[in-house]
Structure 1
Amino acid sequence: MNTPAIVSRVAFVLTVAAPAASLVAQQQPPSPSPATAPSLWELVVQGGLMMIPIALCSLIALAVAVERWVALRPKAVVPPGALKGLDRAVASAEDPVKAALAYCRKHPSPLAQVLQAGMERAGEPLERIERAIAEAGERAAFELSRRLRTLSVIGSVAPLLGLLGTIFGLISAFQTIAVSSNALGKPEMFAGGIYEALTTTAAGLLVAIPAVILHNYFLARIEHLLVKLDDAASTFLRTHAAALSPPAHDSVHSVAPRLEPQHVA
């Protein structure tokens, strides 16, 4: 076997094959990099202009929820020590009505407002006392239900804003198909419009669902607080009927009217 001849042939093959392999490697497209999940800001940007009102709705709903959460604490509506404090004020005073009124003004709360309205009419005709207590109960219910309508409106409007963004996104996608003859063969050309459509729909639902849940939760809490308010006020006036006055006691049939869902303001 002629070893030098074999070596020379192998060297010749390697010399010819190396440039060809290099040329093939240059012609091959680079491997695509792995896709990364978009950030929250990228999702907002891809959603288009309709994401702006949806984001505003989310901020308003959050602010209302925090404010109502603080305002609807049970101890803020019916303070735990209010009845005991009123009992001490009435028991140690020569004029129980004036003492109770002074205590209510010093420690304001929905319970104190309702009691104050009835005691201010002590000694007057029964109709006036009943009217004063009913009006105070209605005012208390209105104050407790403030801004709940905002959550209800956001729960209804946010999905519609998302749907409107979906329509805009689909219009953009079909417009791209209409103006480009080869768009159907390149889905990336109109995928942006569909991406925008899906993003706004999801964003609208993500804002609306918590808003509806919070609205119903706060409504149930208000109804519970009004029952506690009515019970506490009625208990106090029955206990001190002799010290206050019969009209103020007899008028307490329903101090805090029940709040119906359709009347929430």
Structure 2
Amino acid sequence: MNWFFLQIGATDTVKQTVGAVTDASQQSMNVMDMLTRGGPLMIPLAALFVLAVFFFFERWLSIRKSSHLDPNFMNIIRDNILSGNVQSARALARNTANPVARMIDKGLQRIGKPIDAIEKSMENVGKLEVYKMEKNLSVLSLVYGIAPMFGFLGTIFGMLQLFYNINASGDFTPAQIAGGIYTKMITSASGLIIGLLAYVGYNFLNAQIDKNVNRMEAASSEFIDILQEPTR
């Protein structure tokens, strides 16, 4: 008999535990529910997120393409220049889609002029190539600058609305206040996350551009040294 009542008691305990877990799962929100509770300012935040993702991958693919260069490119250029075959060197540079190759091609076009003039021409081409690589990076800079501001603005508007409703109705509970603050903080969290991602992407792309710039400077210096070597 006691065993029977113990079984009933254990069954009731299990049911209560399962019911509590079910209620907790019903009260929890998924990510989409949380985002929809953020209010109208989640729309511009979503637009900023899309812009950041699009321009990050667009710039990353472009910079990655610009970084591809045959390791023997400068060796071939040197051999052609020292052997007096400048046309072959120019043909190789023109057929290589790379900032370094375009800069070297400009230097090859200026062969016969003073070294200072050659360096200046190559430097100008290098600046144009860097500008091309940095194109649209300002969008990421804009996103990581204003996304947190939009998030804080949404939270402020939400708090103003919450306290206005409390003042107008005079009916409030701690649970209502906590729930209102919780939902309005979603915009701040979203803005900070979007801004952080854009900031990381911006600095990552700048690091890749710096690598390409260093490669261009090394190639320019090597090209000037080649011009000062005696021909064969």
Same fold (TM over 0.5): yes
User: Post-superposition, which runs of at least 4 consecutive aligned residues in structure 1 deviate over 6 A?
Assistant: none
State the SS of the aligned residue for 1:33: helix
Structure number with greater Rg is 1
Question: Paired residue for 1:43?
Answer: 34
- Alpha-carbon distance change, 200 to 176 in structure 1, aligned in 2, over 3 angstroms: same
Question: Paired residue for 1:98?
Answer: 87
Deviations 1:233-256 (A, max 9, x none): 322442354578xxxxxxxxxxxx
> Given the alignment of the two structures, is residue 33 of structure 1 paired with residue 23 of structure 2, yes or no?
yes
State the percentage of identical aligned residues: 27
Please report how far the alpha carbon of residue 163 of structure 1 lies from its aligned counterpart in structure 2 after TM superposition.
0.5
1:175-190 matched pairs, under 5 angstroms: 175-183=164-172, 185=173, 187-188=175-176, 190=177
Count of paired positions: 211
Question: Paired residue for 2:139?
Answer: 150
Q: Is the 8 A contact 1:46 1:196 kept in 2?
A: yes
Counterpart CA distance in 2 for 1:91 and 1:181 is 89
Please report how far the alpha carbon of residue 198 of structure 1 lies from its aligned counterpart in structure 2 after TM superposition.
0.6
Normalising by the residue count of structure 1, what TM-score does the alignment of the two structures yield?
A: 0.69
Please report how far the alpha carbon of residue 212 of structure 1 lies from its aligned counterpart in structure 2 after TM superposition.
1.2
Counterpart CA distance in 2 for 1:236 and 1:74 is 22
- Alpha-carbon distance change, 78 to 241 in structure 1, aligned in 2, over 3 angstroms: farther
Structure 1 stretch 47-56 or stretch 235-244: which is displaced more? 235-244
Q: Which runs of 5+ in 1 are unaligned?
A: 1-29, 245-265
Deviations 1:77-106 (A, max 9, x none): 5443422443565577xx522222211111
Counterpart CA distance in 1 for 2:210 and 2:174 is 58
Deviations 1:147-173 (A, max 9, x none): 222211111101000001001110111
Counterpart CA distance in 2 for 1:130 and 1:192 is 65
State the SS of the aligned residue for 2:67: helix
Query: What code does the residue aligned with 2:148 have?
Result: P
Q: Is the 8 A contact 1:64 1:147 kept in 2?
A: yes
Q: Which runs of 5+ in 2 are unaligned?
A: 1-18
Q: Calculate the aligned-residue CA RMSD, in Å.
A: 2.8
Question: Paired residue for 1:130?
Answer: 119
- Alpha-carbon distance change, 129 to 235 in structure 1, aligned in 2, over 3 angstroms: closer
Q: Is the 8 A contact 1:151 1:215 kept in 2?
A: yes
Question: Greater share of helix residues, 1 or 2?
Answer: 2
Question: Paired residue for 1:203?
Answer: 190
Counterpart CA distance in 2 for 1:79 and 1:161 is 46
Question: Paired residue for 2:49?
Answer: 58
> Given the alignment of the two structures, is residue 230 of structure 1 paired with residue 192 of structure 2, yes or no?
no
Deviations 1:12-53 (A, max 9, x none): xxxxxxxxxxxxxxxxxx999324431222112100111111
Normalising by the residue count of structure 2, what TM-score does the alignment of the two structures yield?
A: 0.78
Question: Paired residue for 2:62?
Answer: 71
Query: What code does the residue aligned with 2:151 have?
Result: G
- Alpha-carbon distance change, 126 to 235 in structure 1, aligned in 2, over 3 angstroms: closer
Q: Is the 8 A contact 2:66 2:98 kept in 1?
A: no
